[in-house]
Structure 1
Amino acid sequence: MEHGVMNKYLLLSLVLLLLTSCNKYKIEGSASDAGLDGRMLYVKVLNADKVWHSIDSCEVIHGEFSMKGEADSTMMATLFMDNMAILPLVVEKGTMKVTMSGTETKVDGTPLNEELYDFLHKQSELENKVQELLHKESQMILNGENPDEAHEMVNREGKKLSDEMSKLVVDFITGNFDNVLSVGVFALIASNMPYPVVTPEIQQIMDKAPASFKEHFLVKEFMSVAQENMERMNE
C-alpha cells in the first residue's frame, strides 16, 4: 500500500516537473553600444486594457544581458529599454538570442522568433528597394533623361514592389493564424499606418481570418476605427 502511494507521488512530481519545464524560457542578448551599460531592459506584453505589463527585466552589464523564467503560454512581447520600445519578440519555450548592434537587430534561437525576423528582414529589403527606386528616378532626371519616362519607370517598378510587399504581409499573417505572430505582425503593420483604414491587404486578411483573430482586442479596435474612417472618407 505504501509503495502504491509513493509511486503516485513520484508520478505526480514527474508530471509537474515536465509541465514546468515545458514553459521555461531564457533570453540571452548582446548590445554593442557601450552607452547601454547599466541600462534596464524590460520584456513587456500589452494587456486587454492597453497597458504594458512587465513580465521580466534585467540590467545590461558589459554589453550583455540575460533573463529566464516561466510563461503560462507563448506570448507576443516587446523588449523595452527604460520606457522606449526596442524590438518585438515572442516569449516561447527555449533560449532566445537577442542581437543589438549598429548593423543588426534581431532575435533568433526559437522557431517563432526566427520566423518573425525572417519576415522583418524580407520586409526591410523591399523597403530599401523602394528607396533605391526613388533615388534612381532623381538620378535619371539629373542625367538628362525624360522626366515623364523616368516617372513612368518608377511607377511600373514601384507597383511590382508594392504587390510583392502586399503578398508578403498577407501570406505571413494568414499563414500564422494558429499562433501569436498573426496578431503581432498585424499590430506592427497597423502601428506604421498614418491612421487606421481598411486597405486591400487588410481586407484580404480579414476575409480569411478565423473568429479567434477577429475577436482579438487589438484587431477589433483597429477594425472599428478603420471602418469609421472609411465611412467618413466615403461621405
Structure 2
Amino acid sequence: MKKILLFLALSAAFVSCDKPAENEYEITGTIADASMDGKNVILEKQGGYTGFTPVDTVKVENGRFIFKDTVSAPSLHFLSFEGIPDQKASLILENGKITIAINKDTLDNSIQGGTYNNEKLYEYSKTMKAKNQEISKFKADNTPLMMEATQKNDTVAMKRLNDEYKAIADDMEKSTVDFIKNNPKAYINALIFPRLMNSRNLDDAQIKELYDGLDDEVKNTKEGKEIGDMFAASVGNIAPEFSAPNPEGKTVSLKDAMGKVTIIDFWASWCGPCRKENPSVVAMYNELHEKGLNIIGVSLDKDADAWKKAIADDNLTWSHISNLKFWEDPIAKQYGVQSIPATFILDASGKIVAKDLRGEELKAKVKELLGE
C-alpha cells in the first residue's frame, strides 16, 4: 500500500510540474522545414509605431520553438519569422500549454491548439477562410459580367449579381453570429463582435441580446468592456460626450457643437466614399444650418495636413475635430465605429435617433426633426 501511495504522489508531482501555473503560458511551435533551424521567431503584440511590438524572441531548434512567460489575461498575439517577410501567424496568449503548427508557405494557415481559446480561434478562422474563398471566387467569376452589365445598363443583371453577392456576405455574417451564440465563452468573440456593430441585418436590440449572451469572462476582458461601452452609443440613448482638438488646436466638445439637430460625422481625408458623400452633406448643411442643423466632423486621419486640406477642398464649414490616431481614435471606439463614413443623428436633447443615413434619407430625417 505504501508503494502505491508513493507512486501516486510521485505521479501527481510530475503532472503538477508539467502544467503551467495559473498565470503562466507555454507556446510550443513546430515547423516542418529544416532550413528554418537557427532562425529567429518573434512573439509580438499589437501596438507601437509599426502596429506591432516585440514581446520575446527565440530560435527554431530541430523544427521546434518554445516561449514561456506569464500572462494576466487573454490577448491576441502574433508570430513572425526570420526569412518569412510580410506574414504573421496569430494565436491567443493565455494561461496553459499552447500549440501551433506553422505553415511556412502561408503563416495565416497555421494550426492553433492546446488551449480552449486557441482551438476556438482556429475553428472560427477556418470557417471565415472558407467564406472568404467563396467571396473571392464569386468576384473572379462575376466581375466581368458586372462590368458588361454596367456598360449595357442592364439593371436586371446588375441587381441579380448584387443580390447573389449580398446573399454570400449575409451568410458569412450569419456564420459569425452562429459562432458567437454557440461559443459564448470564446475570447475571440470579443475581437470579432465589433464587426457586427454596423450590421445592416441586425438591429441594436439583436446585437445587444447577442452581447448579453456572452460569458462574463469574455465581457470582463479589456475588449469585452469596450464593446459594452459601445452600447451607450445606440439609438435611443443620449450620445456619449467627447472632445478633441480642432484644426487650430483648440479643444472642441460635442456639447459645444450641439444644435436643434446634430450630426456626428465620422470620416477621413483618405476615405473615398466619405469624400464622395461630402457634396450632398454640404448642400444639406447650407440649406438647413440656419434652421438649427449642426454637424461635428470626427476625422480618423493621422496626417494633420491631409485632414486640413480635405476640409478646405470639400468646403466643409462645420466644426471639425481629430485625435489624428487613425483607427485607434478613442471617439470612434467609444461609438463602435468599424467603418466610415458613419453618422449619428441627434435630436435637440442629444438623444441618438438614427444612424448611418445617407443622401435624401438623411435630409428627410433632419427636416423631420427640425419640424419641417
The TM tier, using the shorter chain, reads 0.5 to 0.7
Stretches of structure 1 lacking an aligned partner (at least 5 in a row):
none
Q: Percent sequence identity over matched residues?
A: 15
Q: Structure 1 counterpart of 2:157, which letter?
A: A
Structural mapping, 1:60-209, within 5 Å: 60=60, 64-67=63-66, 69=68, 75=74, 77-81=76-80, 86-90=88-92, 92-93=96-97, 95-102=99-106, 105-108=109-112, 110=114, 112=116, 113-143=118-148, 147-178=154-185, 182-188=186-192, 190=194, 197=197, 199=199, 200=202, 202-209=207-214
d(CA) in 2 for partners of 1:9, 1:211: 41
Q: 1:234 aligns with which of 345, 356, 360?
A: 345
Q: Structure 2 counterpart of 1:80, which letter?
A: L
Deviations 1:45-88 (A, max 9, x none): 99xxxx9794x6412469x4411658789955423338x88232
Deviations 1:13-46 (A, max 9, x none): 54343223233855123287x7996333226599
TM-score (ref. length: structure 2): 0.45
Distance 1:67 1:42, change over 3 A: same
Q: 2:18 aligns with which of 18, 21, 34?
A: 21
Deviation at 1:141, TM superposition (A): 4.0
Q: How many residues align?
A: 217
Higher Cα radius of gyration:
2
Greater relative contact order structure (CA < 8 Å, 6+ sep): 1
d(CA) in 2 for partners of 1:77, 1:105: 16
d(CA) in 1 for partners of 2:7, 2:193: 49
Deviation at 1:123, TM superposition (A): 0.7
Q: Does the alignment pair 1:58 with 2:62?
A: no
Q: Does the alignment pair 1:30 with 2:31?
A: yes
d(CA) in 1 for partners of 2:164, 2:38: 44
d(CA) in 2 for partners of 1:44, 1:37: 23
Q: Structure 2 counterpart of 1:15, which letter?
A: A
d(CA) in 1 for partners of 2:57, 2:107: 25
Match of 1:101, SS state, is coil
Deviations 1:145-202 (A, max 9, x none): 7631232122322232223212211222232223xxx222431564xx5xx9454374
Match of 2:39, SS state, is coil
TM-score (ref. length: structure 1): 0.65
Match of 2:78, SS state, is strand
d(CA) in 2 for partners of 1:98, 1:44: 18
CA contact (8 A) 2:98 2:112 kept: no
Deviation at 1:114, TM superposition (A): 4.5
Deviation at 1:126, TM superposition (A): 1.4
Distance 1:118 1:146, change over 3 A: farther
Q: Structure 2 counterpart of 1:79, which letter?
A: F
Greater Cα offset, 127-136 or 149-158: 127-136
Distance 1:94 1:220, change over 3 A: closer
Between Structure 1 and Structure 2, which shows a larger proportion of helix residues? 1
CA contact (8 A) 2:89 2:108 kept: no
Distance 1:150 1:132, change over 3 A: farther
Aligned-residue RMSD, C-alpha: 4.5
d(CA) in 2 for partners of 1:218, 1:7: 49
